[in-house]
Amino acid sequence: MLKNTQQLLDLMSRLRQPEDGCAWDIKQDFKSLIPYLIEEAYEVVDAIERNDLEDLQAELGDLLLQVVFHAQIAKERGHFDFEAVSLSISDKLIRRHPHVFSDAVFKTDAERHQAWEQSKADERAEKQKSTEKLSVLAGVAASLPALMASEKIQDRAAQHGFDWPDVPPVFDKVLEELAEVKEAWESGDQAHIQEEIGDLLFVAVNLARHLKVNPEIALKESNRKFSKRFEYIEAQVEASERSLLDCELAELDSFWNDAKIALKQPQ
């Protein structure tokens, strides 16, 4: 094992020593570490999107620490250790890349993707210990962000023939769901409104999938764009020595239109 990796494993083991380790580290378990694991993953993404390679190195280290932390807890409980984790992912990489590590040949990306998905399906079937029929949707983690989970669910269904053949019907479905949201709103039934909003978002993800757009990335970019434009509005209002609440909506909307021009990305 690499020297620095072993040092990290030894440090984690030392922090978890009941006699003279760190009190905070000692009391952690799998569930208590979930928020930190999620936070570190998102911070890695943030560093990548900012193209800050120095920060990326640090954030990858923080994420690796979470892996080491979980592996140490598992080792203490007699389940598995870091070596087993490394072996598991190595085996999976070899198994899912037969075109690299054996003699399989894929002529197109579609064939490669189909083989990848079949490999995952075989792994899910292998895990299934009962005689119960295994759903093709099995394995989509319930804790995934909703947009990402929606896309994965729809991808799985599409691989088994449950999908629109092309884009136009998906546009029609978006309009249908939007009309149903309006009907629910007019009914005043809040539970029904929530249900129809969920259906609208679900079909919007389907449209993104058919248009070859990652919905999670698209929404993040829209969030970022909105924030930049709103900050522009705040700057204009501050320059007039007023607060946002002092301004009429029409004036704020005018600033918004100015922001769209001022902040337009060069082509």
The 10s digit of each residue's pLDDT in 119-147 is 777 777 776 655 566 788 877 888 788 89
- Residue range 12-24, pLDDT digits in tens: 999 999 999 999 9
* Number of other residues whose CB lies within 10 A of the CB of residue 49: 12
User: In the chain, which stretches have pLDDT less than 50?
Assistant: 266-267
For residue 267, the model assigns a pLDDT of 38
For residue 82, the model assigns a pLDDT of 96
For residue 14, the model assigns a pLDDT of 96
- Cβ atoms of residues 230 and 257 within 8 Å: no
What lies within 8 Å, CB to CB, of 182 at 6+ separation is none
What lies within 8 Å, CB to CB, of 263 at 6+ separation is 228, 229, 232
User: 216-249: buried (b, 16+ CB within 10 Å) or exposed (e) per residue?
Assistant: beebeeeeeeeeebeebbeebbeeeeeeeeebee
**Token digits for 91?**
């085996």
For residue 104, the model assigns a pLDDT of 85
User: What backbone torsions phi and psi does residue 62 show, to the nearest 5 degrees?
Assistant: -65, -40
- Cβ atoms of residues 154 and 163 within 8 Å: yes
- What is the DSSP annotation of 200-228? HHHHHHHHHHHTT--HHHHHHHHHHHHHH
In 3-state terms, what secondary structure has residue 96? Answer: helix
For residue 128, the model assigns a pLDDT of 66
Nearest to 33, CA basis, from 6, 53, 15, 56: 15
0.75 cut: is pTM over it?
A: no
DSSP 79: S
**Token digits for 48?**
């990548």
Which contiguous run of DSSP H or E holds residue 181? helix 168-187
**Token digits for 195?**
């249900």
- Cβ atoms of residues 207 and 238 within 8 Å: no
For residue 180, the model assigns a pLDDT of 97
- Cβ atoms of residues 244 and 252 within 8 Å: yes
